[in-house]
C-alpha cells in the first residue's frame, strides 16, 4: 500500500485549534460495500444506473462494448448498433 498525500488549503483568521484524525485503512470504512452489478452492457435508448452512491466499490466495474453486427446485402453492408 502506498502512502496517501493530501494537500488541504487552509487560511486561519483567528487563533484556532484544529484536530484531524486519520484512521489507517480509512477512506470509506463507514460506508457499506457495493454488492450490485459489476458487468454492464450499454443500452441504445436507456440509461443504466449502478447504485454505487455512498458505498465502497471494492472491484472494477466493467462496461462491455456496445453490441453490433453487420450483414451484407445487395446495396452494400448494413450495420446494426445496439440491437
What residues of the chain score a pLDDT lower than 50?
Answer: 28
Cβ neighbours around 38 below 10 Å, total = 13
pLDDT, tens only, 17-35: 776 666 655 554 578 999 9
Q: Say if residues 66 and 42 touch (Cβ distance below 8 Å).
A: yes
Please check whether residue 70 is in contact with residue 64, taking contact to mean a CB–CB distance below 8 angstroms.
no
Domain ranges of the chain: 39-81
Q: Rounded CA gap, 53 and 48, in Å? A: 14
Give the integer Cα–Cα distance in Å for 47 and 51: 13
pTM, to two decimals: 0.51
Amino acid at each position: 500500500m502506498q502512502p496517501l498525500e493530501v494537500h488541504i488549503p487552509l487560511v486561519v483568521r483567528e487563533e484556532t485549534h484544529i484536530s484531524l484524525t486519520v484512521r489507517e485503512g480509512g477512506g470509506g470504512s463507514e460506508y457499506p460495500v457495493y454488492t450490485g452489478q459489476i458487468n454492464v452492457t450499454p443500452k441504445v435508448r436507456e440509461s443504466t444506473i449502478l447504485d454505487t452512491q455512498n458505498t465502497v466499490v471494492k472491484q472494477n466495474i466493467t462496461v462491455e462494448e456496445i453490441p453490433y453486427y453487420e450483414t451484407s446485402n445487395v446495396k452494400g453492408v448494413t450495420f446494426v448498433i445496439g440491437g
